[in-house]
Structure 1
Amino acid sequence: MGGLFEVLRRWLDDELDFRTDELVAHCAGFLGSLGAYVLSLNTSETTPAATHRRAGGAAAGDSQ
């Protein structure tokens, strides 16, 4: 969450030249990923990428 906080702090201090909709788009993907990760920890569910890796597929950056 530190990175997200830093983006918001810099935007509020006018250090970043984002419109509100650009900021929302920038942060929404991160928040969605974070929410999916936390949900998977709490419900023992996995994300599609984890299921794919377990089935023998390789995600970007994985070596076989």
Structure 2
Amino acid sequence: IGYRLGTAKIGETQTDNPVGVLNALAFTLVLGLLEVITDAYFVIQQGEILVQRFFIELLLVE
């Protein structure tokens, strides 16, 4: 029961502070954006490696 009361008080405190809520939201969005960018970069790197392997195979065959 004590845990639930503490959680309710924390929730009330967080909703009473709009700046804190906006800061948390902005932080979450920035982290999500960074994750998307790093994942996209990884996919591009993998694509470049596949193209490089293709050209190496082509050069070695000739």
Same fold (TM > 0.5) = no
Structure with bigger RCO (C-alpha 8 Å, 6+ apart) = 1
Higher helix share: 2
Give the alignment's TM-score, normalised by structure 2.
Answer: 0.37
**Structure whose CA Rg is larger:** 2
